[in-house]
Amino acid sequence: MVEHNDNVPLTDSDASGIHPLAMLFRARSIALVGASQAEDSVGGRPIKYLRKYGFEGQIYPVSPRYDSIGGLQCYASVRDIPGSVDLALLAVSAARIPDVLEDCAVKGVPTVLIFSSGFAELGDEGRDLQARLVREARQHGVRICGPNSMGTMNLRSGLTATFSAVLERDHKPGPIALISQSGMYGAYILAQATALDLGLGLFATTGNEADIELAELLDYVVHDPETRAVLAYVEQLRDGDAFVGSAEAALEQNRPIVIIKVGKSDVGARTAQSHTGAIVGSHEAYEAVFRQYGLIAVDTVDEMLDIAQLVDYGVFPKGKRVGIISLSGGAAVMIADACVASGLEVPTLPVEVQASLKERVPFAGVANPIDATGQLFNDPDFYKDFLGALVDQPDIDTLVLFFGQMIGYVKNLGTTVVSESVNAARESGKPFAMVAMPGDGRAAQMLKEGGIPHFTDPERTVRAIAALANFVERRETLLDRLRRTRDLDLSPIARTDVDTELGAKNFLAEHGLRVAEERLARSPEDAARHADAVGYPVVLKVNSPDIAHKTEVDAIKLGLSNKAEVGNAFEEIMRAVKDRRPDAEVRGILVQEMIPAGIELILGVKRDPVFGPMILCGLGGIHAEVLRDYAVRRAPVDQDTAAEMLSDLRGYALLEGTRGKGPVDIESVIEAIVNLSQIAVRAREWIEELDINPLIALRDEQGCVVADALIECAPLSEV
Amino acid sequence: MVEHNDNVPLTDSDASGIHPLAMLFRARSIALVGASQAEDSVGGRPIKYLRKYGFEGQIYPVSPRYDSIGGLQCYASVRDIPGSVDLALLAVSAARIPDVLEDCAVKGVPTVLIFSSGFAELGDEGRDLQARLVREARQHGVRICGPNSMGTMNLRSGLTATFSAVLERDHKPGPIALISQSGMYGAYILAQATALDLGLGLFATTGNEADIELAELLDYVVHDPETRAVLAYVEQLRDGDAFVGSAEAALEQNRPIVIIKVGKSDVGARTAQSHTGAIVGSHEAYEAVFRQYGLIAVDTVDEMLDIAQLVDYGVFPKGKRVGIISLSGGAAVMIADACVASGLEVPTLPVEVQASLKERVPFAGVANPIDATGQLFNDPDFYKDFLGALVDQPDIDTLVLFFGQMIGYVKNLGTTVVSESVNAARESGKPFAMVAMPGDGRAAQMLKEGGIPHFTDPERTVRAIAALANFVERRETLLDRLRRTRDLDLSPIARTDVDTELGAKNFLAEHGLRVAEERLARSPEDAARHADAVGYPVVLKVNSPDIAHKTEVDAIKLGLSNKAEVGNAFEEIMRAVKDRRPDAEVRGILVQEMIPAGIELILGVKRDPVFGPMILCGLGGIHAEVLRDYAVRRAPVDQDTAAEMLSDLRGYALLEGTRGKGPVDIESVIEAIVNLSQIAVRAREWIEELDINPLIALRDEQGCVVADALIECAPLSEV
């Protein structure tokens, strides 16, 4: 085996000490199977591009049809190659792939990258072929990227293992990685980055993800020492746990992942028994996970590349406080607006500083934002003082400058402003961003060399700064939360009988939730006796595995205050059920305490096909369902996350007390959420959906009580 | 007077038949007072730019210091100019402006444009100077643009009456107008438009708006026959009614106004007596007006110019239905997502069409979005068929194509795709937009010549299309609504005594709202007698001009069911008021019917300093205030608008009936909103804030009833 770069990260390494994915970016010898003399074909372009980008390792064309390609000796089979092969690129028809893969296995090639299509994307037959491929590769210890991948690149070393024509243009190397589930869209992002003079480093398109998938690639690149941020284009995740793992690694490595997830509009009808099931769709799950694990989710490539550009320039705001200096009052207000809207702060300058600036330019705005006014055209010297006053403030983390079209259009003034800005940025060590059209002259060059990124739109600039400032601010918090959830006991709980309300509540009570006091009655007399024991007033309701929504069939009676009422209620419920749901199995009638007044909440669990159990909380009644006011996270959650879920609710003020009513016991609700999230994980194998509706949060410090619960289990065959 | 262009719009014309603002864009002779031989000064640049841009009229430099400037004869005073002067540009110090203005008046100059600063922007002294200037100008019938304006331009005729260095670069003429309250930001928008190769036509910066203000300029440009859309940059409106008038004119003329309003974050504490006052801030008023009068409000110049670019290319979608054809499945989903999020539709192709496409390319996505897949690289001919199938659908209004980096990077294929697209666009007459980086080669040129605009970001493209499609779709609706509000009787209502609940409710009842039946009692006996008449149960509450929130002082008692309870309640209320608000003037106790169960709403009025009376509606209780679920419009509103306000509420479903409860009388609530909006306008001189809280909407068709009302009047001195 050839020598490898010292920079190859060794985390997650296999026995050989080399990360199994390293070859996609750091191979020293590459075989191209299906190589072609036609430069513009899939079998021709990789050689052309490897040479164009200065790849310094060995290139071995493989094809029985040629003796040589472009001066390189050509081999009939991978087996014939004299040296070792780190990476094989497969550009032959799908039918030939199994044989070629065997050749690679025999040759000891650790990693193959399959360009060819004709696999799972074609349907059942292709899926079978792909599955066989993976089985064989695993037997031989060969890793596969693809099939149907457009390839990978390391633009820093010139390893361009791709046939994408995007490489017809020149792209510069840089510290940003890009992992894309779409080859074409990935190439398009690269083309746009290049148009902005932004350099990418590692780039991979995952294709069908038969073996190596997005999460594993993310994990690899966040550990790459030369990578400072990762861009990800995602259509659908296959392994949510692995994805979450790579997101945690990104937090630990301090490398933001900026992600675009397509496929937001949920198509197809939703059918679900529980309220939670009806509320939480797959898009909500993705959004919740992105937020919970610190990913920066964006809608557009513009936003993605704005953030990447900040990172490329080393702009990593330490905090959320922004200083603004602007040639235009309107732009100053616009930037300040955008800061407030994005959660950034614009601290007011101390009065004495304001006074001294005002002395210099009486009609300037000096509070922060600073409006330098057109006076700058007459007297450019004061810019240095104004800028100095701003950077000197210890409570300002980042500077945003607005100079519109001035820098590019008013020559001497432009270079003066830029050189003062560059000096101030250097001396203060604080990150700067310039909103301007600096043109293509000297001022633009000075900005670039001086390490100040420039943007044209104030709002977009601020949003990008806010995204990074938020990442920086939340990183430690999120890591702490993750550490705390690791301390929870997450050992599996065996499946148990939870198909009635009583069963569900007993299960929840066993695992630490407080449920309403209740007893099961088989007759009116039973019911009356239980009511005496529970204490009046009581609630009666049917206990049946077949009736999810009791109100709809009149199978619940509230506020019963004596034996007679209880007896009648029992009979009425039995009659109502017999009338309306004659098919329903009735397992007695529950006699339950009336819980004192409080605020009703709904807590829920839904098993997401990608991310596993998700937990929901919202206010009860109309809030979660009609007003769509709820919060969702991936289970498990810690106290801090649970508290954040509650404060995310628009109706949070109701829990804190309004209109003369005191607060409810919020702490107990937080504990209930944490507890339920833990149960959700422990029973993830068999609980599909779960509703606690309502959970009644009592006033002051009286706790909270599960008043009703419903659990939907996976079909027995699944477990 | 010189001859004028036939295109000068004659609406709003003065006696001479010339629009008073025409000279800012169509002057044939321009005097520059304060002209300078220094080419790069404020007094030098206008001459340089007028010549550079090929202005064909007369230029008269005015300065006592020179005999000639750049070969043009220079005059000591405007009075000395031999020919007539359509427009005078004033570039002298503020102190000299009054004299120069007099010269202009004597010379008969209809319009002056004042570049000079040193007026209202400096504070009180400058404000006085400015006010004197306007008084004098009005006496002489001279119109003023500015002072402190950066100027105006008509890039179509080369009339560049500005000193902005943005004209150092070349800008191309086009059908888009730009009116900006910031000179520098306006110039910056122009620079960005030019970077996109987008042409502007008329451009004005309003400066201090001493005389001519934004709304009047908007009104002028929307009537300009060569203008197809207007961009507006707004910091603060002075005359809301005039602004609304120009917005209506824009709807009538079918010219969208795309607006950026800065200054969103409300600073300073809000103090208001009524709930409505506390809820509706100035930003809400702006947003409501923009929506109500069909303006397209955007946050960024990017969005503004995306829309302008569509208009420039003549892309004016007839409807909301989009056809998508994409080289990448991911991009196809992204575009479809963006369509759904923006309120556009993506109709599914008929099954037989899908089948025929599937036959051609078995693994293509064919439902719409069409995923053409990489197969296009092997077999470009099928593109024509696919595109044809899509444009032929009568239920598709606009086509969005995605070709990423292919067009610019894969030469022959790129031009093939573009030429087929251009043909299909021409033949179908349907608007197309291309999402791609076409590079700068032949394909890019073909796109431009073929009239297909290109964008790089899918999401941004769709948002721009949606903005225009929405404008087109809503234009007629909004005009109808405006016509209907014109039929309302809006004659002023004289001020009347409304300082107690009874006064406010009597006033509302007089003007057509149904209020709860109630009588005023002065003693417990009175109260009991009234209760008998009203019918039990009743409500008792204090009637006082000093107590706005009765619950807080226990001055309201509900559900009283007999004489004795009523008598006691009377005494209790009197005691509570005496205890807690001994200063309050009590004007008896109201005995009111208990209104049957229904849904509580809040209706409100707040007089906005810019737009006059705004009307609010929301659900009662926690909804409007705690959950911030409410809708706001400028009064008056018609039935259609009132219905839209209700359906805008997140909690609208509660009015329609949920959880086994039937609907309330929504029609009657709509009538109440319309009625109240009419009252708000008729009493705009003296009503500052008004709450109907609650308005109780009854079930079925039983109407709605005002249960409580509060009116805050303007101080008497104001009226």
Task: Kindly list the domain boundaries of chain A, sorted by start residue.
Answer: 23-212, 310-473, 517-593, 598-718
Nearest chain B alpha carbon to A126: B363
Neighbours of A380 (CB within 10 A): 17
Least confident of A5-14, A37-46, B224-233, B252-261: A5-14
**pLDDT single digits (tens) A11-49:** 343 445 678 799 999 999 999 999 999 998 999 999 999
Nearest chain B alpha carbon to A649: B627
> What is the band of A4 on the pLDDT scale with cuts at 50, 70, 90?
very low
**Residue whose tokens read 């493989």:** A62
Angstroms from B384 CA to nearest CA on chain A? 21
Averaged pLDDT for residues B383-408? 92
Tell me which residues of chain B, numbers 264 to 303, contact chain A at a CB-CB cutoff of 8 Å.
264-265, 299-302
Measured distance CA(B629)–CA(B621) in Å, rounded: 11
How big is the A-B interface in CB pairs under 8 Å? 187
Cβ–Cβ < 8 Å for A273, A689: yes
**Rama region for B207: left / alpha / beta (φ>0; ψ in -120 to 50; rest):** left
Q: What was the pLDDT predicted at A279?
A: 61
**Across chain B, what does the average pLDDT equal?**
91
Angstroms from B627 CA to nearest CA on chain A? 6
> What is the band of B9 on the pLDDT scale with cuts at 50, 70, 90?
very low
Tell me which of 3.30.750.24, 3.30.70.80, 2.60.40.10, 3.30.1490.20 is the CATH number of domain B517-593. Answer: 3.30.1490.20
The two domains A310-473 and A598-718 share their CATH topology (first three levels equal): no
Residue B629 contacts A where some CB pair is shorter than 8 Å? yes
Tell me which of 3.30.450.80, 2.120.10.30, 3.40.50.720, 3.30.540.10 is the CATH number of domain A23-212. Answer: 3.40.50.720
Q: What was the pLDDT predicted at A5?
A: 41
In chain B, residues with a C-beta closer than 8 Å to the C-beta of A650 are 626-628
pTM of the model: 0.92
How far lies A463's CA from each of A192, A234, A337, A442, A470, in Å?
19, 21, 11, 28, 10
**pLDDT single digits (tens) A575-605:** 999 999 999 999 999 999 999 889 999 999 9
Tell me whether residues A327 and B233 touch, CB distance under 8 A: no
Q: What was the pLDDT predicted at A2?
A: 37
Measured distance CA(B193)–CA(B196) in Å, rounded: 5
By C-alpha distance, which of A585, A558, A581, A582 is closest to A569? A558
ipTM: 0.90
Q: Which of B192, B264, B340 sits opposite A437 (nearest CB)?
A: B192
Tell me which of 3.65.10.10, 3.40.50.261, 3.30.950.10, 3.40.50.300 is the CATH number of domain A310-473. Answer: 3.40.50.261
> What is the band of B17 on the pLDDT scale with cuts at 50, 70, 90?
low
**Across chain A, what does the average pLDDT equal?**
91
Residue B523 contacts A where some CB pair is shorter than 8 Å? no
Neighbours of B714 (CB within 10 A): 16
Angstroms from B699 CA to nearest CA on chain A? 18
**pLDDT single digits (tens) B59-107:** 999 999 999 999 999 999 999 999 999 999 999 999 999 999 999 999 9
Residue A378 contacts B where some CB pair is shorter than 8 Å? no
Q: What was the pLDDT predicted at B406?
A: 80
Nearest chain B alpha carbon to A166: B409
CA atoms within 13 A on the CB side of B238: 12
CA B133 to chain centre: 31
Angstroms from B617 CA to nearest CA on chain A? 16
First-to-last CA distance in chain A? Answer: 45
Tell me whether residues B331 and A459 touch, CB distance under 8 A: no
Averaged pLDDT for residues B458-480? 96
Residue B248 contacts A where some CB pair is shorter than 8 Å? no
By C-alpha distance, which of B683, B684, B691, B688 is closest to B709? B691
Element (H, E) at A408: helix A406-409
Measured distance CA(A601)–CA(A260) in Å, rounded: 33
Q: What was the pLDDT predicted at B280?
A: 64
User: Is CATH 3.40.30.10 what the domain over B325-452 is classified as, yes or no?
Assistant: no
Residue type, B602: I
Tokens of A681: 């994980």
Cβ–Cβ < 8 Å for A155, A172: yes
Residue B445 contacts A where some CB pair is shorter than 8 Å? no
Averaged pLDDT for residues A325-334? 88
Q: To the nearest whole percent, how much of chain B has pLDDT over 90?
A: 79
Residue B597 contacts A where some CB pair is shorter than 8 Å? no
How far lies A315's CA from each of A470, B210, B700, in Å?
13, 43, 61
Residue B374 contacts A where some CB pair is shorter than 8 Å? yes
CA atoms within 13 A on the CB side of B248: 13
Averaged pLDDT for residues B215-231? 97
Indicate if the pLDDT at residue B205 is higher than 70.
Answer: yes
In chain A, residues with a C-beta closer than 8 Å to the C-beta of B627 are 627, 629, 650-651
Tell me whether residues A622 and B658 touch, CB distance under 8 A: yes
Tell me whether residues B658 and A302 touch, CB distance under 8 A: no
Cβ–Cβ < 8 Å for A223, A216: no
In chain A, residues with a C-beta closer than 8 Å to the C-beta of B185 are 328, 330-331, 334, 404
Q: What is the CATH number of domain B598-718?
A: 3.30.470.20
Residue A192 contacts B where some CB pair is shorter than 8 Å? yes
Cβ–Cβ < 8 Å for A144, A112: yes
Mutate to test the interface with B, among A117, A185, A198, A552 (most CBs of B within 10 A): A185
**pLDDT single digits (tens) A98-118:** 999 999 999 999 999 999 998
Q: To the nearest whole percent, how much of chain B has pLDDT over 70?
A: 94
CA atoms within 13 A on the CB side of B460: 27
In chain A, residues with a C-beta closer than 8 Å to the C-beta of B260 are 334
Higher pLDDT, A223 or A410: A223
Cβ–Cβ < 8 Å for A602, A691: yes
Residue B648 contacts A where some CB pair is shorter than 8 Å? no
Indicate if the pLDDT at residue A336 is higher than 60.
Answer: yes
Q: What was the pLDDT predicted at B272?
A: 43
Indicate if the pLDDT at residue B269 is higher than 80.
Answer: no
By C-alpha distance, which of A649, A658, A661 is closest to A621? A649
Mutate to test the interface with A, among B235, B259, B299, B551 (most CBs of A within 10 A): B299
Measured distance CA(B382)–CA(B395) in Å, rounded: 22
Averaged pLDDT for residues B653-671? 88
- As a whole number of Å, the CA-based R_g of chain B is 32
By C-alpha distance, which of A196, A192, A198 is closest to A180? A192
Nearest chain A alpha carbon to B327: A184
> What is the band of A276 on the pLDDT scale with cuts at 50, 70, 90?
low
Tell me which of 3.40.50.720, 3.30.70.2700, 3.40.50.300, 3.30.43.10 is the CATH number of domain B1-204. Answer: 3.40.50.720
Element (H, E) at B31: strand B29-33
Tell me whether residues A264 and B340 touch, CB distance under 8 A: yes
**pLDDT single digits (tens) A506-547:** 999 999 999 999 999 999 999 999 999 999 999 999 999 999
**pLDDT single digits (tens) B596-638:** 889 999 999 999 999 999 999 999 877 877 788 999 999 999 9
Indicate if the pLDDT at residue B268 is higher than 70.
Answer: no
Q: What was the pLDDT predicted at B6?
A: 40
> What is the band of B360 on the pLDDT scale with cuts at 50, 70, 90?
confident
Cβ–Cβ < 8 Å for A462, A339: yes
Q: What was the pLDDT predicted at B659?
A: 64
In chain A, residues with a C-beta closer than 8 Å to the C-beta of B168 are 409
**Rama region for B58: left / alpha / beta (φ>0; ψ in -120 to 50; rest):** beta
DSSP state of A112: E
Indicate if the pLDDT at residue A267 is higher than 90.
Answer: no
> What is the band of B121 on the pLDDT scale with cuts at 50, 70, 90?
confident
**pLDDT single digits (tens) A408-442:** 777 678 888 999 999 999 999 999 999 998 877 88
Indicate if the pLDDT at residue A10 is higher than 80.
Answer: no
Higher pLDDT, A98 or A283: A98
> What is the band of B33 on the pLDDT scale with cuts at 50, 70, 90?
very high
